[in-house]
Amino acid sequence: MKRLLTLIACIGLLLLSQCSGNKNDTVITIKTNYGNMVAILYDETPKHKENFIKLAKEGYYNDLLFHRIIQGFMIQGGDPDSKNATPGQPLGMGGPGYTVEAEINPKFFHEKGSLSAARLGDQQNPGKASSGSQFYIVQGTIVRQTDADGLRIDQAKLSSSFQKIIQDPNNQPLIDSLNQLYMTGDMQAYQRKIYSLVPRIEKMTGQKIYKEVSPEKLKAYTTVGGAPHLDGEYTVFGKIISGLDVIDKIAAVPTEQERPVEDVSMTVTVEELPRKKITELYGYQYPN
């Protein structure tokens, strides 16, 4: 009986240890000449987590560049061809020779600081498989409260439904007015106009375009910002938990054809820490 009680006590202590945050996790540090970014990787995307840790431990990412930067959108790196690349050399097609199966989880979205996998487009890659090494970190923009309705729209369904609309000659006056608005260069006004047409498009096509959006997602996009149009299309497998300001600094670097004029290189290190320690150091709260 005493042994049985001891065993039960040990199991209880083990469960208590796991629940109290003493379980270890991996912290990724991306070091740049603009500062360091610290990230955690999600357990719910195990293939991406395992692959990124493996490459980082091998030193694969060291001295590679953030070769593609679009301010207000994202910074992208991980192309092995960027190591020692000459000025103006086209980049973005390199990798380790394999892809990673998509692990798109609706729980994770493209808020600022999201660590996501780059990939080829749908036409070449209908399964949305990720690049074996290239990743991007979201900067994005803050969605105004007046534009928050757009977050409730399924962009893929809107796009397919809109294609049906523009193919109908009876809708030519509508198309002409949209083209005129587009030519003004006011993309926010153009987007708001498109969103205002959703009820009409739903009625005309019979396609349900509005979707449910969690309060968490609405809050993140209207306060921190991000790139909501990417949701459901790319695998989000981690999050920057320290160094969001570094994203802004890198995103502001002058570019030519989206490549920085001056190289922005990286060194990636891996460290295993108790989750409780990660919370103490970086303020990241693990979900229960």
Say which range, 75-84, 156-165, 219-228, has the weakest mean pLDDT. 156-165
Whether residue 191 sits in one domain with residue 121: no
The answer on 223 and 124 residing in a single domain is yes
Note whether 248 and 189 are same-domain residues.
no
- Do 122 and 222 sit in the same domain of this protein? yes
Residue 145 has pLDDT above 90, yes or no: no
Domain hosting 135: range is 25-144+214-282
121: buried, middle or exposed (CB in 10 Å: 19+, 13-18, 0-12)? exposed
pLDDT computed for residue 18 by the predictor: 45
Could you tell me if residue 100 is inside a domain? yes
Task: With cut-offs at 50, 70 and 90, classify the pLDDT of residue 100.
Answer: very high
C-beta separation of 62 from 77 below 8 A = no
Question: What integer best gives the mean pLDDT of the chain?
Answer: 90
Q: Work out the average pLDDT over 165-192.
A: 86
Q: Same domain for 43 and 184?
A: no
Taking the C-alpha atoms of residue 55 and residue 138, their distance in angstroms, rounded to an integer, is 21
Helix locations, the chain, DSSP H: 2-19, 46-57, 155-166, 172-183, 187-196, 198-205, 215-223, 244-251, 275-282
Task: Clarify whether residues 62 and 190 are in a common domain.
Answer: no
- DSSP label at residue 155: H
231 within domain boundaries: yes
Closest CA to 75 of 138, 140, 132: 138
Report the pLDDT value the prediction gives residue 229, as an integer from 0 to 100.
Answer: 86
pTM for the model stands at 0.81
Q: Same domain, yes or no, for 183 and 200?
A: yes
Q: Which residue has the higher pLDDT, 10 or 62?
A: 62
State which of 162, 184, 205 marks the end of a domain: 205
Are 81 and 178 found together in one domain?
Answer: no
Q: Is the pLDDT of residue 17 over 60?
A: no
Half-sphere exposure (Cβ direction) of 233: Cα atoms closer than 13 Å: 16
Domain count, the chain: 2
What is the distance between the alpha carbons of residues 148 and 145, in angstroms, rounded to a whole number? 5
CA separation for the pair 259, 81 (Å, rounded): 13
- Using the 3D structure, point to which of 205, 224, 244 is the last residue of a domain: 205
Q: What sign has the CA pseudo-torsion 182, 188, 191, 195? A: negative
Asked if residue 130 and residue 226 are part of one domain, the reply reads yes
- Assess contact for 270 and 31: CB atoms under 8 A: no
Report the distance separating Cα 226 and Cα 189, nearest Å: 19
Q: Does residue 123 share a domain with residue 39?
A: yes
Same domain, 94 and 56: yes
- Do 98 and 30 share a structural domain? yes
Q: What CATH number did the domain enclosing 41 receive?
A: 2.40.100.10
